[in-house]
Chain A
Amino acid sequence: MSKLSEAEAVEVAAAKKYKYGFKTNIEYEDFPKGLNEDIIREISKRKNEPDFMLEFRLKSFHNWLAMEEPEWPNLHYKKPNYNDIQYYSIPKKKPKLDSLDEVDPEILETYNKLGIPLQEQKMLAGVAVDAVFDSVSVATTFKEKLAEAGVIFCSISEAIQEHPELIKKYLGSVVPANDNFFATLNSAVFSDGSFCYVPKGVTCPMELSTYFRINNENSGQFERTLIIAEEGSSVSYLEGCTAPMFDTNQLHAAVVELVALDNAEIRYSTVQNWYPGDENGVGGIFNFVTKRGICRGVNSKISWTQVETGSAITWKYPSVILKGDNSIGEFYSVALTNDMQQADTGTKMIHLGKNTKSTIVSKGISAGKSQNSYRGLVKIGKKADGSRNYSVCDSMLIGDQCGAHTFPYIESNNSSSSVEHEATTSKIGEDQIFYLQQRGLDEEEAISLIINGFCKEVFKELPMEFAVEATKLLAIKLEGSVG
C-alpha cells in the first residue's frame, strides 16, 4: 500500500481557476528599475553587507555582462528585458518582530489563503518556517529549538551579518560566480533566501520549510539558498511556493547550493506551483533555477525531490557532484505541464569519487498544448571506479496536442562503472478512464488515480504532508484536460 492516504490522494478541489491566484495589497518601497553597478552597490548598501559580499556581487555582475542567455533549452519565450526589472523590493513596513502577532495581518492572511498559516504550522508536527515574503524575511519561528541543537536556520541576509565566515567559505563554492547566465545574475543581485547550517553529528530535530511567494509585479525574485551539513549530520529541507495571478511575465532566477561533508545527508524537497500563465500562454513566471549540491565528504548523500507544476517556463536541473568516495546522489522528479506551459528540466549527476551511486527517477506529464522535456547528464569521471547510475524517465501524454521529449546525455570515462537508462512513454487512454469510471470513480478521480500511480515512486520520497499537497496540486492542474 502507498504511504499516501488514498482518500486524500484523490481529493479534487472544486476551483477551476488557478487556485492561489490572488494578490495581497501591501505597500512596496520604490527602488529604481534596471541593472548597473550603482544598482548593485545600492542593493548591497541597503542590506548593510560587508565588503566581501559587495565584491562577490560586482564580480558576478561583470561576469554576467559577458554572458549570453542560453538558447539550447527546448523552450520558446521572449527574453526578458533585464533593464526593465526592479532588482530589489521590500515591503515598506519592514517588520522586526518577536512574535507572529506583530506580522502585518495581510501577510498572515496570504498564508491563510494558501492553507499554510504559520500559527497552525507552529503547532503542527514541528515544522520550522522561515517565511520569505518577497525579499525580506517576515517571520522566523522555531529558532530557539533549532538553536538548542546548534542548527542555524535564518535568512541569508542575516547569515551574511551574523556568520560571515561561513558565507565566505561556502557561498559560491558549489555554483560559482561565473556558472551560468541566470545563476550569475542571481549572484549579482540576489535579494534574500534561506541559510541553514547543521553542525557536526547533529540530526536536525525537525523538517525545515520555507514558503515564499512573489508578490510585487515586475519585482523579479532572486532567491539564494545555502545549506551546509557538517560531518555526520543530516537535514531535510522543504521548499514550496505559489504565486499570485497577474499578467506580465515575471523572472525568477534562484540559486540553491548544498554542501554535504563526510557522512552527512541532505534531503531537499520542492513543490513548485508558480503562476503558469493563462490557457493562451499570457503571463506566468519564468523560472530559471540553478540547484546544485556537492557530496564533498565520503559516504555523504544528497537527495533532490521535486514536483514541478507551475511556471510558464521552467529551466531547472538540480544536480549532484559526487566527489566523496561512496557518496550517493538522488533525483526524483515529477514535472507536469498543461495549457501552454514549457518545462526543460532534469538533473546532472557528476561522479568523481570511487563507488559513487546515483539514481534518477523522472516522471513527465504533459497535457494541453504544453511541451515537457527531460534533460539529464550522467558523467562518470576517470577516477570514479565502480560507480553506478540508474536512470528511468517516464513520460505520460494527455491529449494529442502536447509534447514529451527526453534528452539523456551520458559521458563515461571509467570502464569499471555502469550506467543504465530506461525510458517509456504512455498515454492516458479512454479505456483506462472508462474502466475506473465503471468502478464508480468520476472522471477527475480516475485521472487523479492514474496520475498518482504514475508518480508513486517520486511521491513516496516526499514527506507525508508534501505528498498530499503534491497529489492535490496535480489533480487541480489537470482538471478538465482529459475528455
Chain B
Amino acid sequence: MLKIINLRAEVEGEEILKGINLEINAGEVHAIMGPNGSGKSTLAKVVAGHPAYEVTGGQVLYNGEDILEMDPDERAKLGIFLAFQYPVEVPGVSNSMLIRQGVNNIRKERGQDEFDPLEFEDYIREKLELVEMDERFLDRSVNEGFSGGEKKRNEILQLAAMQPKLALMDETDSGLDIDALRIVSSGINKIRNSENAFMLVTHYQRILNYITPDKVHVLMGGKIVKSGGKELALELEDKGYDWIVSDLMVNGEA
C-alpha cells in the first residue's frame, strides 16, 4: 500500500529525513519509534503533504502511484489520513460541519453518494460511540476549548468517519491519561481491519500495550536504523534509545 523509497526532506534548509525506506501493506500496523527530533513526525507530515517540508529526493508510492506532487487534500481523498500530534483549532466552525464536508468530499471522490444532514447524523453517531464522545462535541467549534485528551479523541472520531486506507498517527498517545489512552487505543483497534494500514508514530512503548504492531522501526537521525517485530518495542522500553546507538556503533553503522 505504502512504499517509501530513499525519501529525503528538509525544512527551512535543514535536512530532517535522510533516506527513509519503508513498506507498509494492507492489514498491517507499523510503529515508528525514536527519540525526540529523530524525524518521526516529519515522516508522517511529509507523507500527508505538509507544505512546510520540502522533499529533496526519493519517492512515496501509494498503491504504486507517486503522490509527492499531490496537494494534501488530494492525498486525503485517496485515503491517507493524518491524526495530528497537535490538532488545530478552527473557531466558529462546528466539528460536524468540518467532518461532514470532509466525509462528503471523500465519498464523492469514491463515487459514493454524499450524506445529507440527517444521514450524516446517523452515521456520525455510530462513530461517536467508538471514542466514547458525547454528541455535544459535534456542535462545538473544531478543537476549540478541547482538553488535550478530547482533541486526540476528536482525531480518532475523524479517523473513524473518514475511513481512510492508510492512517498516519502522529504521537496520538502523547499527553493522554490512562483512561484516554485506553479509549483511543480501543477506537483504533475497532477501526483496524485487513484492508487498512496504520503507521503509529510514538515516543513510548506504552500505546503498543494496547495496539499490537506487526512491525517496529526505530528512526534516528533521519534514517530507519533498526526494524523488528513487536518485541523490539519492549527491548527499547527496557534499554532506552541509547542502547541502539551503542549497538550501531559496535556494528559500525553510526
On chain A, the residues within 8 Å of B99 by CB distance are 439
On chain B, the residues within 8 Å of A455 by CB distance are 92
Total count of chain A residues near the partner, CB < 8 A: 29
On chain A, the residues within 8 Å of B162 by CB distance are 439-440
**Residue A136 at the chain B interface, CB threshold 8 Å:** no
Interface mask (A433-477 → B, CB under 8 Å = 1, otherwise 0): 011111111110110011011111100000000000000000000
The answer for the CA separation of A434 and B77 in the assembled complex, in Å, is 14
**Residue B101 at the chain A interface, CB threshold 8 Å:** yes
**Residue B229 at the chain A interface, CB threshold 8 Å:** no
**B101 x A449 contact (CB < 8 A):** yes
CB contact list, B199-249 vs A, under 8 A: none
The answer for the CA separation of A213 and B156 in the assembled complex, in Å, is 50
Distance in angstroms from A9 CB to nearest chain B CB is: 8
Distance in angstroms from A426 CB to nearest chain B CB is: 8
The answer for the CA separation of A253 and B32 in the assembled complex, in Å, is 64
Nearest-neighbor residue (CB-CB) of B83 within chain A: A438
CB contact list, B54-100 vs A, under 8 A: 71-73, 75-77, 81-82, 84, 87-88, 90-94, 96-100
Write 25 A-B pairs (CB below 8 A) sorted by A numbering.
A1-B94, A6-B97, A7-B101, A431-B88, A434-B50, A434-B88, A435-B84, A437-B71, A437-B72, A437-B73, A439-B76, A439-B98, A439-B101, A440-B76, A440-B77, A440-B102, A440-B106, A440-B162, A446-B73, A449-B93, A449-B98, A450-B93, A452-B93, A453-B90, A453-B141
**Residue A27 at the chain B interface, CB threshold 8 Å:** no
On chain B, the residues within 8 Å of A340 by CB distance are none
Interface mask (B130-160 → A, CB under 8 Å = 1, otherwise 0): 0000000001010000000000000000100
On chain B, the residues within 8 Å of A456 by CB distance are 92
The answer for the CA separation of A446 and B93 in the assembled complex, in Å, is 11
How many B residues are at the interface, by size bracket?
Answer: 35 or more
On chain A, the residues within 8 Å of B175 by CB distance are none
Binding site for A on B (CB under 8 A): 48-52, 71-73, 75-77, 81-82, 84, 87-88, 90-94, 96-103, 105-106, 109, 139, 141, 158, 162
On chain B, the residues within 8 Å of A10 by CB distance are 101
**A438 x B73 contact (CB < 8 A):** yes
Binding site for B on A (CB under 8 A): 1-2, 6-7, 10, 429-432, 434-443, 445-446, 449-450, 452-457
On chain B, the residues within 8 Å of A445 by CB distance are 101, 105
| With known contacts A1-B139, A6-B97, A434-B51, A442–B71 Cβ distance under 8 A | yes
Distance in angstroms from B139 CB to nearest chain A CB is: 6
Distance in angstroms from B96 CB to nearest chain A CB is: 7
**B97 x A441 contact (CB < 8 A):** no
Nearest-neighbor residue (CB-CB) of A6 within chain B: B97
Nearest-neighbor residue (CB-CB) of A4 within chain B: B97
Choose among A435, A452, A453, A454 the residue that contacts B88 (Cβ–Cβ < 8 A).
A435
**B139 x A443 contact (CB < 8 A):** no
The answer for the CA separation of A441 and B94 in the assembled complex, in Å, is 15
On chain B, the residues within 8 Å of A449 by CB distance are 90, 93, 97-98, 101
On chain A, the residues within 8 Å of B109 by CB distance are 440
| With known contacts A1-B96, A6-B100, A430-B52, A440–B105 Cβ distance under 8 A | yes
**B101 x A438 contact (CB < 8 A):** no
Beyond known contacts A435-B90, A438-B81: 17 more, CB 8 A cutoff: A2-B94, A6-B97, A6-B100, A429-B88, A434-B50, A436-B102, A440-B76, A440-B101, A442-B105, A446-B73, A449-B90, A449-B93, A449-B97, A452-B93, A453-B91, A453-B92, A454-B92
The answer for the CA separation of A442 and B72 in the assembled complex, in Å, is 8
**A443 x B96 contact (CB < 8 A):** no
Residue among A437, A438, A457 with most chain B CB within 10 A? A438
**B90 x A441 contact (CB < 8 A):** no
The answer for the CA separation of A208 and B101 in the assembled complex, in Å, is 34
| With known contacts A10-B101, A436-B98, A441–B92 Cβ distance under 8 A | no
